[in-house]
């Protein structure tokens, strides 16, 4: 069955960067885009962008353009989301999701605090 396993919680200082990983299994990794979504405490869901694991091409929401980088390693069926210039309002749960069926990972909590 499709499974998305994400890296653990991170505590970062303002201005730092964070890199979250997401390992996919149960389907052919390069067949479908992989998306990143985040949810700040008490807020709604926010689509951040997606990566095509086959070509490596990316599409980012304009809100994150210039601060987010999505990459992949096809040898280990893993995608990465790196967010730079962290601010306190980047504190959120970050989820990856498959492009087919939108199977969500368990989430990775990123806390930005001085």
Partner 1 sequence: QAVVTQEPSLTVSPGGTVILTCGSSTGAVTSGHYPYWFQQKPGQAPRTLIYDTGNKHSWTPARFSGSLLGGQAALTLSGAQPEDEAEYYCLLFYSGDGGVFGGGTKLTVL
Q: Which of 54, 69, 93, 111 touches partner 1 by CB under 8 A?
A: 93
Q: Which of 95, 96, 110, 112 binds partner 1 (CB under 8 A)?
A: 95
Nearest CA among 73, 72, 50, 53 for reference residue 61: 50
Provide CB contacts within 8 A for 96, sequence distance 6+: 4, 6, 20, 22, 24, 34, 35, 36, 37, 79, 81, 104, 105
Shorter beta-carbon distance to partner 1: residue 20 or 37 = 37
Q: CB atoms < 10 A from the CB of 81, how many?
A: 28
Which residue number, 56 or 101, has a Cβ lying nearer to partner 1?
101
45 binds partner 1 (CB under 8 A): yes
Using CA atoms, how far residue 96 sits from 17, 80, 114, in Å, is 18, 9, 26
Task: Pick the closer one to partner 1 by CB: 55 or 62.
Answer: 62
83 vs 97 by CB, closer to partner 1: 97
CB of 93 to partner 1, least distance (A): 7
Q: Which residues bind partner 1 (CB under 8 A)?
A: 35, 37, 39, 44-47, 49-50, 59-62, 93, 95, 97, 100-104, 106-107
């Amino acid at each position: 069955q499709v499974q998305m396993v994400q890296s653990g919680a991170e505590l970062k200082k303002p201005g730092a960067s964070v890199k979250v990983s997401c390992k996919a299994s149960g389907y052919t990794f390069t067949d479908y885009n992989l998306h990143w979504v985040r949810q700040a405490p008490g807020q709604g869901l926010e689509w951040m962008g997606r990566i095509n694991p086959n070509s490596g091409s990316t599409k980012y929401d304009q809100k994150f353009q210039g601060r987010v980088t999505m990459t992949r390693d096809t040898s280990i069926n893993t995608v990465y989301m790196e967010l730079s210039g962290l601010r306190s309002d980047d504190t959120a749960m970050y989820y990856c999701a498959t492009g087919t069926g939108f199977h969500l990972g368990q989430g990775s909590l990123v806390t930005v605090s001085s």
